[in-house]
Amino acid sequence: MIDLRSDTVTKPSAAMRKAMAQAEVGDDVYGEDPTVNRLQDLVASLLGKKAALFVPSGTMANQLAIRIQTQPGQEVVAESRAHIVRYEQGAAGALAGVQLHWVAGERGIITAEQVQQAVRPKDPHTIQTALICLENTHNSGGGTIYPLATIERIRSVAGKAGVPMHLDGARLFNAVTATTLPPASYAQHFDTVSVCLSKGLGAPAGSLLIMNDLGLLEKARRCRRMYGGAMRQAGILAAAGLYALEHHIGRLKEDHDNAKRLARKLQQLSSVTVNPQHVETNIVIFDVVGHRLAPGAIVDALKQEGVLVNTIGGTSFRAVTHLDVSTAAVDRAYEVFARVLG
């Protein structure tokens, strides 16, 4: 089976499993797990921040960032198809008591002008803007990379308004690999940043929330426990993350090349609409129009032939390349697409 549903489906390699089995561990709730501490120090250093906190998932990292930087009854600006909007189960409202102000972007990217319009005036009659969240790369936008210049302009707007910024950097290392910019170049413009280890980097679980403010770190640690994310001998998972950071960042380019290869091949099918120029990293979004099968039936037919993909609404589909999908597998997957969709 060729699984293109997400880059979250990767399996730990034998070498990663070995690193996990040999991990030195302690009780992380007491701050005594040396492998977790090493992972946190490494990621904080990579992003040019003072501290990082290891958590089970990217959703928890994002929600902790919202909780520690807002008050109930405030508002968070986010792109309308961002992960925190579509895929985090309304957690911002349920856990932090804030509402999300949706701003429709172009392939997930919003402009400084849009942010400026979205930030509420300091007025006793209006809800107050507490946080601005960006996502890089943008999942629903098709793995799009936020231009650094756009981030800088948004940061300027936020600074003038006195509003902090959070980066959902679940796939930040995909942006780093594609642009060759260091992670700190992006992170420097945000008060908090989340990064995920279990997507393209291939670890089985885990994310980190990174920041400069040690007061925020203490709040995040307390809220992590409140949310049920304080783990004990978590070094077993942290060891997988360390291995991923040490061995899997450079190879992300292979995933990007394979995604572009798949998009160019799909473009040959008359029933498929896809723009290979929009494939910036490892996510391919394409439409199937005028086919005899409904989208759900297309997914089932592809599965019967040995390829897994997701529908993402209407006639749109998403295919994601990752370290368990080789170039040869991409070519085999295209043969299946051609049989089903041709």
pLDDT in tens, 200-252: 999 999 999 999 999 999 999 999 999 999 999 999 999 999 999 999 999 99
The answer to whether the beta carbons of residues 218 and 180 sit under 8 Å apart is no
Residue 334, domain CATH: 3.90.1150.10
Q: Is residue 256 part of a domain?
A: yes
pLDDT(255) > 90: yes
Question: In this predicted structure, what is the pLDDT of residue 26?
Answer: 97
Question: In this predicted structure, what is the pLDDT of residue 290?
Answer: 86
* Residue 66: domain span: 14-247
Same-domain pairing of 180 and 241? yes
Distance, in Å, from the CA atom of 79 to the CA atom of 100, rounded to the nearest integer, reads: 9
pLDDT per residue as tens digits for the range 188-199: 999 999 999 999
The answer to whether the beta carbons of residues 171 and 185 sit under 8 Å apart is no
Same-domain pairing of 29 and 69? yes
Same-domain pairing of 69 and 118? yes
Q: Nearest-CA neighbor of 39 among 167, 191, 231?
A: 231
Distance, in Å, from the CA atom of 36 to the CA atom of 235, rounded to the nearest integer, reads: 5
Residue type, 275: N
Q: Is residue 2 part of a domain?
A: no
Q: Of 209, 229, 247, which marks where a domain is finished? A: 247
| Domain count along the chain | 2
**Which residue has 């393209």 as its token pair?**
200
Cα 126 off chain centre by? 31
Percent of the chain with pLDDT over 70: 100
Same-domain pairing of 46 and 145? yes
Average pLDDT estimate for 155-175:
98
Q: Is residue 154 part of a domain?
A: yes
Question: In this predicted structure, what is the pLDDT of residue 286?
Answer: 97
Q: Is residue 325 part of a domain?
A: yes
pLDDT(68) > 90: yes
Same-domain pairing of 89 and 114? yes
Return the sign of the alpha-carbon dihedral for residues 116, 118, 123, 128.
negative
- Is the bond preceding 311 in cis, omega lying within 30 degrees of 0? no
Q: Is residue 1 part of a domain?
A: no
The answer to whether the beta carbons of residues 213 and 22 sit under 8 Å apart is no
pLDDT interval class at 115 (50, 70, 90): very high
Q: Nearest-CA neighbor of 204 among 26, 1, 17, 64?
A: 17
pLDDT(170) > 90: yes
Same-domain pairing of 285 and 310? yes
Average pLDDT estimate for 295-308:
96
Which residues are bridge partners to 286 per DSSP? Answer: 317
pLDDT per residue as tens digits for the range 80-105: 999 999 999 999 999 999 999 999 99
Cα distances (Å, whole numbers) of residue 280 to 60, 74, 320? 27, 34, 12
Average pLDDT estimate for 40-56:
98
Average pLDDT estimate for 9-23:
97
Residue type, 52: A
Q: Chain-wide mean pLDDT for the chain? A: 97
Same-domain pairing of 207 and 279? no
DSSP for 181-241, please give it. --HHHHHTT-SEEEEESSSTT--SS-EEEEES-HHHHHHHHHHHHHTT---SSTHHHHHHH
Same-domain pairing of 261 and 242? no
pLDDT interval class at 64 (50, 70, 90): very high
Q: Of 214, 247, 280, which marks where a domain is finished? A: 247
Residue 115, domain CATH: 3.40.640.10
Question: In this predicted structure, what is the pLDDT of residue 267?
Answer: 96
Higher-pLDDT residue of 342 and 123 is 123
Q: Of 247, 276, 307, which marks where a domain is finished? A: 247
Question: How many residues does the structure list for the chain?
Answer: 342
Same-domain pairing of 178 and 34? yes
Same-domain pairing of 200 and 311? no
Same-domain pairing of 211 and 263? no
Q: Is residue 71 part of a domain?
A: yes
pLDDT per residue as tens digits for the range 265-284: 999 999 999 999 999 999 99
Same-domain pairing of 240 and 280? no
Q: Is residue 183 part of a domain?
A: yes
Return the sign of the alpha-carbon dihedral for residues 269, 274, 279, 284.
negative
Q: Is residue 50 part of a domain?
A: yes
Question: In this predicted structure, what is the pLDDT of residue 262?
Answer: 98
Contacts of 208 (CB under 8 A, 6+ apart): 39, 40, 43, 52, 53, 54, 55, 61, 194, 195, 197, 241
Question: In this predicted structure, what is the pLDDT of residue 325?
Answer: 98
pLDDT(307) > 90: yes
pLDDT(145) > 90: yes
Question: How far is the first Cα of the chain from the last one, in angstroms, to the nearest whole number?
Answer: 20
Determine which helix (DSSP H) or strand (DSSP E) holds 78, and give its type and residue range: strand 75-79
pLDDT(342) > 90: no
**Which residue has 């597998």 as its token pair?**
329
Question: In this predicted structure, what is the pLDDT of residue 6?
Answer: 97
Residue type, 30: Y
